[in-house]
């Protein structure tokens, strides 16, 4: 199950993140892909806003994990950039725990994980098109995430 959306401006990305927030109320594990400055953290911030997270959402590049508990569901935000090629496989079991239950977990730089993520997750690939335009591609891997992508697609193509 795949769905992709072109966002010509940051405001379009905000609308996409708002629709996304409506589809993940049961929780979801999201791995974000895309080059530096593509718009991974921007999407996490906008989704957290849509879930009414009160704290300021910042990039967790230096702490690996930020967590927010003031919104509708808990939001966890990992940035694995600093782990580079080693380390990711050693925290896969920990990451798996964040994929369970009613919580929303984002992982930036999931491509550092050499192996495929071995549990249900939703991939978001962000690419530049031009200027402020970005393409967000969603792919559900596993039953739960496939349903989320389907709901998102229905919500945005009505
Ligand atoms: N349509 C758009 N969608 C998302 N971000 C946009 C858009 N247009 C402009 N931007 C800007 O692009 C930048 C994206 O930066 P962001 O920190 O989200 O990138 P990133 O993918 O997390 O990079 P990194 O790999 O360094 O963490 C932000 O400054 C954001 O405001
Ligand atoms: Mg980032």
What HEC string does 54-99 produce? CCCCCCCCCCCEEEECCCCCCEEEEECHHHCCCCCHHHHHHHHHHC
Instruction: Indicate the average pLDDT of the chain.
Output: 91
pLDDT of res. 90:
73
Number of the ligand closest to the Cα of 40: 1
Side-by-side strand order, sheet with 28-33: 2-7, 134-141, 121-128, 28-33, 104-108, 75-79, 65-68
**What is the per-residue pLDDT for 153?**
97
pLDDT at 16 over 70: yes
Model's pTM, two decimal places? 0.90
Q: Residue 12: left (phi > 0), alpha (psi -120 to 50), or beta?
A: alpha
Among 18, 37, 78, 107, residue to substitute to test ligand 1 (most atoms within 8 Å of Cβ): 37
Question: Yes or no: is domain 2-156 CATH 3.40.50.2000?
Answer: no
**Ligand 1 atom 2 nearest Cα:** 10
How many A from CA of 39 to the centre of ligand 1? 3
Ligand 1 pocket by Cβ (under 6 Å):
7, 9-10, 12-13, 34, 36-42, 59, 108, 132, 134
What residue's CA is closest to ligand 1, atom 9? 132
- Please state the separation of Cα 52 from the chain's center in Å: 16
Say how many Å lie between the CA of residue 125 and the centre of ligand 1: 13
pLDDT digits (tens, 9 = 90+) for 55-64: 999 887 666 8
Residue 1 reports pLDDT greater than 90: no
What mean pLDDT comes out for the span 86-96? 77
Ligand nearest to the CA of 112: 1
- Please give the distance, rounded to the nearest whole angstrom, from the Cα atom of residue 36 to the centre of ligand 1: 8
What does the pLDDT average to over 12-23?
98
């Amino acid at each position: 199950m795949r769905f992709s959306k072109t966002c010509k401006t940051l405001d379009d990305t905000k609308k996409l993140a708002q629709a996304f927030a409506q589809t993940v109320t049961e929780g979801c594990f999201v791995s974000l892909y895309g080059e530096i400055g593509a718009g991974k953290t921007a999407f996490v911030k906008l989704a957290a806003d849509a879930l009414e997270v009160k704290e300021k959402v910042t990039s967790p590049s230096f702490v690996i994990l930020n967590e927010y508990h003031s919104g509708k569901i808990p939001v966890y935000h990992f940035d694995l950039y600093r782990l580079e090629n080693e380390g990711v496989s050693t925290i896969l079991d920990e990451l798996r725990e964040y994929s369970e239950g009613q919580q929303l977990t984002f992982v930036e730089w999931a491509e550092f994980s050499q192996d495929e993520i071995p549990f249900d997750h939703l991939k978001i690939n962000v690419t530049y098109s031009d200027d402020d335009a970005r393409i967000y591609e969603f792919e559900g891997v596993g039953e739960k995430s496939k349903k989320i992508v389907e709901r998102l697609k229905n919500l945005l193509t009505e």
